[in-house]
Every structure is written in structure tokens, then in C-alpha cells.
Structure 1
Amino acid sequence: MTRSTTDLPLPEWLAAKARGASAGDVLGMGVRVNRDWWVAALGDTPFADEVFETDDGRLRRTQLFRLGERATESPEDARRLLWASVAWGTGRRHRLNRARLRSVLGRQDDVSAALQQAAEVSRTDSRAAYRLMRPGRNTVRYLGPPFFTKFLYFAGGGSPAHPCLVLDSLVAKALRQDCGWNGLTGRYVWSADEYAAYCDLLTRWADELNEDGGDPVRPDQLEYAMFDHGRHS
């Protein structure tokens, strides 16, 4: 039986896991990346000046948030956040990254404008931001929801009230198998309505946890807890 997300209760295991990792642990999470690969790949394009910085070979959420703060200021800033978000998602593996880069090159003005607009809209409307990144098909070819929701999330600059969160296959697996959302469709692609419902759900669950006192819990702590759970289940 399919349940509406409006009445899904917060699972006890998720509440405990989210409280077990502080906001600092989640925000400081780093992914090892190969910055030299990006220097070379972008160096052959008009985007050579858009390579992101790393911290001892790692990209951390806090670094991406700093890029996200500026993502609405120019097409260049929006693209810089895109490259960093893709790097954070792929790590030292670069499967499809050249194809993604070619997709942006092929429609540079249109894609860059869409990215900048999506970054702006992500701060107020998760559903509309998702639709900008996937208006029927993905705005950037080979960049589906598991990756472009990272871009939408980081565009919030780290604000705990930011309405967009990361949704990938591992989070979706945890939602279906262990959180009661058995009607969630797809493994890698979801509708804009499902994405908005997911973001609203985690915001509600975080609010419920915070009613109990203790250290404040952010919605992205719940996202990270589900990602980790999905990875090990």
C-alpha cells in the first residue's frame, strides 16, 4: 500500500542516525577528487578559468557552499558550481564527465542561463528548480537528478532553510525500503513533484526532531544518514 509523504512517520533508526552525526561532521564531509583532470579537461574549452579549488585533494561540502553562494551572480559562477558538483559526485572516476562537458559546450548560452536561473530559484522553490534542470529532458545531457540535485543543494550556500536537497539512488533506496515511501518511483529519475515531496518530508522530519530539544538537526543530516544507510544495506 502506497502512503502519502504527508503522514510518513520519522523512522526511529533514522532519527538516531541523524543525531549520531553532527552538522559539522556532515558539512565537513570530503570527497577525494582529481583536480588535475578538471584543469586539463576545462583547459581545452572557454571554461579554463572555472576550475574549483580543493583542500588537500578533497572537495568538502563547505567549499561547495561557498561556490553556491555566488552561483547566481554570473554564468561563469553557475558553471563553476556545476563542475565542482559533478566532481564531488564522481570523485576520481570521470565516466560521462567529458560528455557532460560537451553538452554544456554545445549549448553554452542556453545551458549557462538555465543553470544561473536554477541556482536562483533553488532558494525558494524546489519543484520549479528541478523543472528548470529537467524540463522534459535533462538540461545538461548525461546529468540526471542524482547529479543536478547536488547542484541545486549547494546553490543554497549552506543555509539550513534551503529548500533543495540531494536525492540519489541510495537515498531513494532507503526511502523505499526502510522509511515507508514504497510509492517512490524510479531509481535514478523522479518527477518534480516527487522531488518537492522529498524535500518537504526531510524538512518536516528535521522540525520534529528539533521539537525534542538537543543539538539542532538540519534536513541535510537526514539526507546524509539515508545515503550512508543505503550504501551499507
Structure 2
Amino acid sequence: MAPTDLSRLPLPTACREALRAPRTERVNDHAVPIAAAWWNAEVAAVRLPGAPVTGRRVMHLRRGDLFTDAAKLPALSDEELLRFTWRVLAWGSGMKLRLNRRRIRAVAHDTTHVVKTLRSALAAAPVDAAQAYEVMHPEGRSAVRYLGPAFSTKLLYFAGAGSVRHPCAILDSRVAATLKKSCGWDSLGNGRWPTRTYGRYCTLLARWAAEESERLGRDVGVDEIERWLFDSGGGQARK
């Protein structure tokens, strides 16, 4: 299938309407229930840095909480960097813990390599989305086992610490479903997207965000559009 001409794709009207809500409400305050006790126990069990992942009474994580975590990048110690990683994975997983034990053990198997990879990718994220993605997925393979596009793009996104101009956006199966069904990106494909595709995705969202910024008279972030794409992708939305 020939690549879809993304320059011709309009932002759906429903998304444009959703952007009328305040950014802080739709993005910073976007909370997800997490399995805090599970994460604290699993990370501690393999004696990895970064535990406890949350306080015992923390039952939800907000995007704003993770923005605060990322605000000190790249000065975070290895322990703080891994704690940030666990918290992003906890937010991204919600109460669905499939494969997370394997992800934790993959980090334990070669912690030095994982930390080096994360530092390189997160340093590139505010500057070049495609370059940062390539660090996590060199030549189409995952640099960290069990950390596929959906979770690695969450890390790249949160590395922006909430900046409205951060170029990286989350790309997962639900976002992709909306892009194909509601936006007309017929050639997007599924799952293991190559670096070029992720770069095209971030460029598309940046164009839409720029157009909406002009229309609304305020800075619109790519994450505001990603939030709508996710929520429109079927199943239970992250709340």
C-alpha cells in the first residue's frame, strides 16, 4: 500500500470541539488508577533502583505528576531515572499488568545498558522525535526487551515535562485505530511502527496543533490531540 499523503488529512471536527476544554483539565489532570503495591513489590523483589515507585496510599498517577518527575531530566540519578521509568510504565499500564514482570526483569538483566539507552533517548526527545524513537528502536528492534513502541513513546512523551511544544507524542494501538478509522491514515499499519512512521505521526500532530493554535488563539499541544485520538479508539478510555 502506498503511504498515505498526511498533508491532506484534516483534523476531525470532534477533536476540534474537544480542544475547547482547558489544557490542564484534559492533559495535566488526566489520572490513571495504578497497581501501586504490585509495582513497589516487584521492583523491590529484583533489587532494582527506583523503589518504592509510589507511596503506599497513592492509587492514581496524573500526567502532571510525571511531568514533575521529568522536570529535572537529565540531572536525575540512575535511581531517579529508573523510578521515573517505573512510574511511566505504571501510568501506561493502569490495572493491566501483562508483561510488566518481564519488563522489570529485562531491566534487571542489563541495567547499565538500559539506563544508557534511556538517557540517550530522553535527551533527544525534546529536539527530534524520530531520532529519539530510533534510539529506542534501532533498525526496527526494541533496544530494551519488552519495551515496544507503545511504552517507549510514553517515555519519550513524558520527557518533555509537560512542555506544550514538546515534539514527541504517545502512539499505541488505540491512537492508531482512530488515525485509521476516523482520520484517513490508511497505510499506518499495526504495532511495530518503523522510525519513519513515528516521525510522520509526530509531524502530522504538530501540523494539526499549529492549525488549532491559530484557530483558538492559544498554544495547543500535540498531547491534547493524542488524548482525543486515544479516547476515540474504542474500549475504556484512560480517565
**TM-score normalized by the length of structure 2:** 0.89
Once residues 53 and 109 of structure 2 are traced to their aligned partners in structure 1, the CA distance between those partners, rounded to angstroms, is 22
Larger CA deviation: 202-211 vs 72-81? 72-81
Once residues 142 and 207 of structure 2 are traced to their aligned partners in structure 1, the CA distance between those partners, rounded to angstroms, is 28
Residue correspondence of structure 1 range 1-233 to structure 2 within 5 A:
2-19=3-20, 21-25=21-25, 26-53=27-54, 56-73=58-75, 74-135=77-138, 136-186=140-190, 188-231=191-234
> 2:19 is paired with a residue of what secondary structure?
helix
Once residues 49 and 166 of structure 1 are traced to their aligned partners in structure 2, the CA distance between those partners, rounded to angstroms, is 23
Once residues 168 and 16 of structure 1 are traced to their aligned partners in structure 2, the CA distance between those partners, rounded to angstroms, is 23
Once residues 220 and 235 of structure 2 are traced to their aligned partners in structure 1, the CA distance between those partners, rounded to angstroms, is 22
Indicate if the aligned counterparts of 1:103 and 1:141 stay in contact, CA closer than 8 A: yes
Instruction: Please list every run of at least 4 consecutive aligned residues from structure 1 whose deviation after the TM superposition is greater than 6 angstroms.
Output: none
Q: Deviations over 1:161-217 (max 9, x none)?
A: 11111011011011011101111122x221111111111111111110111234542
Q: CA deviation at 1:7?
A: 2.8
Indicate if the aligned counterparts of 1:39 and 1:48 stay in contact, CA closer than 8 A: no
Identity of aligned residues (%): 38
Q: Deviations over 1:67-114 (max 9, x none)?
A: 122342233232222111110111123211110011111111111110
Indicate if the aligned counterparts of 1:70 and 1:78 stay in contact, CA closer than 8 A: no
Indicate if the aligned counterparts of 1:75 and 1:116 stay in contact, CA closer than 8 A: no
Unaligned runs of 5+ in 2: none
Unaligned runs of 5+ in 1: none
> 1:199 is paired with a residue of what secondary structure?
helix
Once residues 71 and 103 of structure 1 are traced to their aligned partners in structure 2, the CA distance between those partners, rounded to angstroms, is 23
Q: Which amino acid aligns with 2:116?
A: A
**TM-score normalized by the length of structure 1:** 0.92
> 1:31 is paired with a residue of what secondary structure?
strand
Query: How many pairs were matched up?
Result: 231
Larger CA deviation: 135-144 vs 27-36? 135-144
> 2:179 is paired with a residue of what secondary structure?
helix
Cα-Cα RMSD: 1.9
